[in-house]
Amino acid sequence: MILLQVQHLEDGMGLGGKRAIITGSNSGIGLGVAEALAAAGAEVVLNSFTDRAEDHELAAELGARHGVAARYIAADMSKGAECRALVEKAGGCDILVNNAGIQFVSPIEEFPVDKWDAILAINLTSAFHTIAAALPGMRAKGWGRVVNVASAHGLTASPFKSAYIAAKHGVVGLSKTVALEMAGQGITCNAICPGYVLTPLVEAQIPEQMKVHGMDRETVIREVMLLRQPSRQFATVEQIGGTAVYLCSSAADQVTGTTISVDGGWTAL
Ligand code: NAD
Q: Is the CB of 118 under 6 A from ligand 1?
A: no
Same domain, 114 and 225: no
Q: What is the pLDDT of residue 222?
A: 87
Q: Whose CA is nearest to atom 44 of ligand 1?
A: 151
Per-residue pLDDT, 3: 47
Q: How many CB atoms are located within 10 Å of the residue 144 CB?
A: 25
Task: Find the helix or strand (DSSP H, E) in which 169 lies.
Answer: helix 162-182
Asked if the structure places residue 5 within a domain, the reply is no
Q: Is residue 267 part of a domain?
A: no
Ligand 1 atom index nearest CA of 29? 26
Which residues, 6+ apart, have CB-to-CB distance to 39 below 8 Å?
13, 66, 245
- Cβ neighbours, 10 Å, residue 130: 27
Looking at residue 224, the DSSP 8-state letter turns out to be I
222 and 98 within one domain: no
Cβ 61 vs Cβ 77: under 8 Å: no
What integer pLDDT is reported at residue 163 of this predicted model? 98
**30-66 tens-digit pLDDT:** 999 999 999 999 999 999 999 999 999 999 999 999 9
Domain of 116 in residue numbering reads as: 14-195+235-261
pLDDT on residue 13 = 55
CATH code for the domain in which residue 95 is found: 3.40.50.720
Domain assignment present for residue 181? The answer is: yes
pLDDT above 90 for 7: no
Q: What is the pLDDT of residues 184-228, one digit of tens each?
A: 999 999 999 999 998 987 888 899 889 999 999 999 988 988 999
User: Residue 30's closest CA among 66, 72, 78, 84?
Assistant: 72
164 carries an active-site annotation: yes
Q: Is 147 in the pocket of ligand 1 (CB under 6 A)?
A: no
Assess whether 40 and 73 both reside in one domain: yes
SS3 190: strand
Q: Which of 72, 102, 169 to mutate to test the pocket of ligand 1 (most atoms within 8 A of CB)?
A: 102
Average pLDDT over residues 78-85: 98
Q: Are both 107 and 206 inside the same structural domain?
A: no
How does DSSP classify residue 110?
A: G
pLDDT of 104 strictly over 90? yes
